[in-house]
Chains A and B, each alone.
Chain A
């Protein structure tokens, strides 16, 4: 059945109960998964087909989803809770589907070879290390959304993720990365990164107490960005009274952007999960909050221009506001090495040991990290654990330089950051 005809039938079946706003979402996809670990060697193929319907009347609403194809005549759940406001149609900017969407999924032996290569390369880099678990997932999907206000949009996704968990004695690290296809992963580079992280954990000392300059490598910096996410979400930020609009929250080096159609981005698409066109949206401009991530339903309340930032991880998930490619804007003139050379004394943190705690209400944060002590621009000793802490204001206000090495990590959406140099934070033993 054509999507618009399906929408009509579903809408007709819901009209008698007063639900006149209706949205239908259809998704199909397939993925190959390969894994090595405690369950031996696994190779699997998944074909996923699902749908979701959101419907709302003047007083209440529901979200209903299922596998396979929807039965257009229901039965549907009785609505409850607040009503929804679905977005209307908006012009979609020029969009050319990236080439990688047409690449075929990797075959079984390719997927297993990548995982085995990761194990081999790790053994070569660090013979006493063990790869505990390796999982590669390569998938593609096609989505379509139509709603009763006239939105009709479709988009495709194609990406691969690689999860590696390795140990050296009692020390353990996890490396999780995303690429456009499985063949883009570099086992040697990944193994070296894991080996470096394990060696720092094993051979490093515990940091002494101090306050000085810290240089945060992208894996640590994106954790900071992740901790700040509630501040950048319209609903959460407003509810918690975080950061008044147009107020300064950080130094002039801080510019934060979300871009759902980032050229070359893993999740780039012409529209978001509600069919609203995506675009580049500056959230923090040189330290000042200028905008937030907001959905079609919240947009009416805030009267801000929508940026298409509603995410649907799968047909099972209720659409929610979230970043697609959220990043701290890099400084294309400065290499991370230059930022390091300019440091007289401080720490260069490469690796987050935990996710950190970010208390935006009480203006406090702390996270455990690993890296190096730095003196006169040179790393002098490995630090296996240090607690980085302070106020959020110090964290954002103390940012004195950003590098050009913008790197993205799959953390819900894609979060990206270059290396960040910050002054005035506390570094203590963890």
Chain B
């Protein structure tokens, strides 16, 4: 095995021994991760490094999941974990392999160390200067899944996170590279907060709403991805009952495509070792597929696994999106901004979907009015509330320029996972924002 030099074949044979029934799911999940964070703060250490490795054995049998997780590759650890999930001493004559400590992940901290200064430089180039606190981190992770028959290749995730806080609000993003373009993007977001610091909160404003790609990504993550996760759908019925349901405007063609992510983030298999799909979630606004892991896919032939993700070895997999893609439309930004008056939002600060009622709340930290194709005065914080299906049905135009944007952390169900998106601008009509 790439990750710990153990004998994968022997591990697979051991797993096969404890799978008594044909539909038992049994796997070994090996994980190594490293995170280094630079903190530009008054208190506490200026650099924080976390490196971990460990594994978990999982057995799913007749709707019950048994999991045993360890924080170290110690002698006898795999044998002990196998015993935990089977709850008997295995009668196997096969040798249980020993897992050895993995090689540490390579350092990627130089870019992080200097990034805060690059954001300050970008701010100066925008003729602005104000103080902010930053946390810039490099995240590396390798996972390998051993099944009873297959040992897919180890998967990698390498990315950066940036969090900046100002007296006017915090801004955070994830990025595949910490380059000058990213520094300008962060600087622009901070500058927008600064310029909107005294803007009045708006309420009761109706008219067109235009969302920038980053805001579109968060809206779709909450209203489409979370709504179509099998563990969300099962709270109100059978997940496969959602297939074919009209969820939004005909203009919405949305898929989850982990294999289309940039290098360093791209996945071939999910966290259960199942090959990932270019999974159509919505086609012309109708549900085509839902996000399912092996557990939920076992309940219906119509559900396809391959979207199982786990934040770490101590958690069982759950269905989650990785990379949402909204296909571009035909409207240029200038055309989206045409009309008497409306509101333009470059970002969404938070979003929540109530899985029982379908009520969605997204909050905007600030925005701008637009009139006749031009951006006008700034507005303060406000929110959009309503049924997710009503908000998605209000989409009246999709921009022609799709960009990789709107990445962030999703923390549903205790899984803190990076999520990514490629989206164009979006125009909605007939909705009202409130405080």
- A residues with a Cβ closer than 8 A to B are 37-50, 54, 56, 60-69, 77-82, 84, 108, 132, 167, 170, 172, 235, 239, 297-298, 316, 318, 320
Known: A62-B46, A77-B36. Contact between A41 and B356, CB under 8 A? no
Nearest-neighbor residue (CB-CB) of A84 within chain B: B45
Q: Assuming the A-B contacts A63-B45, A67-B52, A80-B47, are A39 and B113 also in contact, with contact meaning beta carbons closer than 8 angstroms in the complex?
A: no
**Cα distance, A79 to B44, chains bound together (Å):** 12
Out of A43, A81, A132, A320, which one reaches B46, CB within 8 Å?
A81
Query: Is A235 in contact with B43, judged by CB distance below 8 angstroms?
Result: yes
Report if B289 contacts A (CB, 8 A).
no
Does B17 belong to the interface (CB within 8 Å)?
no
- Considering residues B47, B52, B234, which has the most beta carbons from chain A within 10 angstroms of its beta carbon? B47
A62 — which chain B residues lie within 8 A by C-beta?
Answer: 45-49
Most B Cβ at <10 Å: residue of A39, A78, A132, A318: A39
With A50-B71, A82-B44 as contacts: A65 and B65 at CB distance below 8 Å? no
| Consensus secondary structure, chain B interface | mixed
Least distance between A18 CB and chain B CB atoms (Å): 14
Counting chain B CB atoms within 10 Å of each CB, the highest count among A48, A60, A63, A170 belongs to A63
Interchain CB contact under 8 A, B49 and A61 = no
The answer to whether A40 touches B295 (Cβ under 8 A) is yes
Distance between Cα atoms of A43 and B109 in the complex (Å)? 38
- B204: interface (CB < 8 Å): no
Scan residues 206-260 of chain B and give those whose CB is less than 8 A from a CB of chain A: 231-232, 234-235
Q: For the complex, what is the distance from the CA of A400 to the CA of B77, rounded to whole Å?
A: 58
Taken together as a complex, chains A and B put the C-alpha atoms of A69 and B72 apart, in Å, by: 8
Cross-chain contact A48 with B71 (CB below 8 angstroms): yes
Q: How far is the CA of A403 from the CA of B66 in the complex (A)?
A: 45
Interface string of B41-78 (1 = CB under 8 A from A): 11111111111111000001001111111111110000
Cross-chain pairs A/B with CB under 8 angstroms, 22 sampled = A38-B232, A41-B64, A43-B64, A43-B65, A45-B69, A45-B84, A47-B70, A61-B47, A62-B46, A62-B49, A65-B49, A66-B51, A66-B52, A67-B51, A68-B71, A77-B36, A81-B41, A84-B45, A297-B43, A298-B43, A318-B45, A320-B44
B interface with A by C-beta (< 8 Å):
36, 38-54, 60, 63-74, 84, 87, 101, 109, 113, 231-232, 234-235, 295, 314, 316, 318, 354, 356-357
Interface centre among B50, B314, B354 (most CB of A within 10 A): B50
Other-chain residue from B49, B67, B74 in contact with A44 (beta carbon distance below 8 A) = B67
Chain A residues near B113 (CB-CB < 8 A): 80
Other than the given A37-B231, A67-B53, A170-B354, 5 more pairs (CB < 8 A) read A40-B63, A67-B51, A78-B47, A81-B38, A298-B43
Contacts of B60 in A (CB 8 A): 40
Docked Cα-Cα span, A82 to B113, in Å, equals 15
Contact B46 A39 (CB under 8 A): no
In the complex, the answer to whether B65 meets A132 with C-beta atoms within 8 Å is: no
Interface residue from B64, B69, B101 paired with A47 (Cβ < 8 Å):
B69
User: Is A43 in contact with B47, judged by CB distance below 8 angstroms?
Assistant: no
In angstroms, how far is the closest chain A Cβ from the Cβ of B423?
28
Residues from chain B with Cβ under 8 Å of A64 in the complex: 48-50
Q: Which residue on B lies nearest to A316, using beta carbons?
A: B50
Report the separation of the CA atoms of residues A406 and B84 in the bound assembly, to the nearest whole angstrom.
40
**Interfacial chain A residues near B356, Cβ < 8 Å:** 167, 170, 172
Chain B residues closer than 8 Å to A318, beta-carbon distance: 44-45, 48
Q: For residue B58, which residue of chain A has the nearest CB? A: A44
In the complex, the chain A residue whose C-beta lies closest to that of B39 is A81
- Measured between C-beta atoms, what is the minimum distance from A376 to chain B in Å? 37
B45 and A44 contacting across the interface, CB-CB below 8 Å: no
A63 touches B48 (CB 8 A): yes
How far, in angstroms, from A79 to B232 measured CA to CA in the complex?
44
